[in-house]
Structure 1
Amino acid sequence: MPEEIEFEIVPPVVKDGSSFEQITHRSSHRLFFFPTLENTGELLYCSCLFEVHWLRMADYRRKNLNTLGVEYVKEGSLLAVQNGREYRVGTGEIFLMRPGCESEIHTGPEGHCRKNSLALHGPLLPAVLHASGLDQVDKISEIDHAGFEALLERFRVLSTEPDRMIRRKNGALSYELLRFLQFPQPEHATPERFEKIAQSLAENPGQSGDLNTLARRAGCSPNHLIREFTRCFGTTPGRYLHGKRMQRAAELLLEHPELSVKEISSAVGYSDALNFSTAFRKYFGNSPLQYRKSHS
């Protein structure tokens, strides 16, 4: 387990009959933030994507908030309670913290949980949830993981764009997310050979990612690989690998402060630390050292 770096009990926040409180106990976290769209006329929007590694005792409770919280478990589990009903949310499952409900999530029995959290807002949200039936859904177990990961990556990329582009694209992408939650099962099964390519890129982001090499491993032409990989995962193999490299670099910056930027750049497949720093700044909006300092 990574070294524990943060433990904090946040006092309850109460406003207009709604409230939330939390115990922050985590080893790493990343926030992809979107400029506030409240009071701008936006009917539906996502305010943030939060990636966090919870440790034992981490806890979050909310009551009567008008947002939809989407909790996607990447590793470990959550124990959740909503309107008196209890759930265990395992790896690869989603829990919806519905608007107006009394909800609670905390670390599962494994003692840790890597998860992605999104917060959806807007005056259109209640109507969409009701029309789709999501206002009666707490937990989603069978999902198209590749499709959902592709959606998360699009939110990450969106957070790096100029404010005007975020305002233009955020609502449409938020609606796509809600539609995914309504129809979460895969429309087409992902062929095993492409699943293995994606898994290899995610687990070994330091590899070269040469398209011809990947195509040979998949037993197809480079053009066929690009077409089918994009259909299955929503992005090309190169962009997919780039996202995994940046995510792994961010983890190393926070979890291994003893590593230099040059060492981290090499670990994620860059031979030149300057090129890595430029790519990292473009992806996250901060240099590697600024990112480490702001999250320490």
Structure 2
Amino acid sequence: MTALIETPILIARALQNAPDYTFKSKHGSLSGARWQHPACELSTRHMAEHVLVHHLSGSTRIERRCQGRVTGTHSKIGSSTFVSCHHETDWHIGSQAQVMHLYLPQAVLHDFASEEIGLDATPEIRPFFAADDRWLAGFFLMLRDELESGGLPLGSSEPFLLDQLQHALIRHLVLRYSNLQSNRLAAFECAGARARLSTNRLSQVIGHIEASYSQPIQLQDLATIACMSKDHFVRAFRNMVGQTPYRYLLTLRLARAGQMLRSRRELTIAEIAGLTGFRSGSHFSTAFHKIYKTTPRRYRDEG
């Protein structure tokens, strides 16, 4: 049996070039990279993961071949392509193109199907080329903004956010592109739309977030308190609170930081960032500016 190769390593060997940056979630289930692909011929064989590709910029002269047949031509900027690790695919890239990759292990699909839908079989995601999928375009825009805004070391991200994004992404791929029967998918989607937490469970979850907001919080921890799967918990929380768990946590951290900026003037901004759960002073400053439209220093000086 041919040994499988981690996809970034396989691509780097073929291109003789490293990615611009890589990123990986805390538990290693979601990872990715941004690449500058030169004009080249590239083969994807014996990959250890599926690859979701988003075309950021550059040449659209991209051609996909499967078993010697051309199965896709002319990618579009802003489009997305899914490359299955079960298929051997050849690529012709006419000139330099910038793309972002997400690497999805088969185990992620299996766990989602088992935990969220109650299936023993792993759904198959049908390969697609240059799909004009607005949801995926928005997803990659959000992810890229998180990675490249300057708030975190390049290639790093908030583990809670990546975990939450992973579940949203897998749900989208399964619902829109999998081989599961439509009635099963409809039942799953309907159950998620109706998901609710009891008042007591919601109070316990919010209590945990408020007591632990300065520490790393895992999505699984909150789902366990709610006695729900992670996907159903995220949807139930959003249905009842009006925002995702990560957004609630971020808003709480920023509110507490805003209070401390004016009440604890002996503390530096970097110290306040650490005390309110941000991974760096720059991460805090970037997040603060997005919400308050001013810098933490200016906010403190105006108080």
Same fold, judged at TM 0.5 (above): no
The structure that is strand-richer by fraction is: 1
The structure that is helix-richer by fraction is: 2
Q: TM-score, length-normalised on structure 1?
A: 0.42
Q: TM-score, length-normalised on structure 2?
A: 0.42
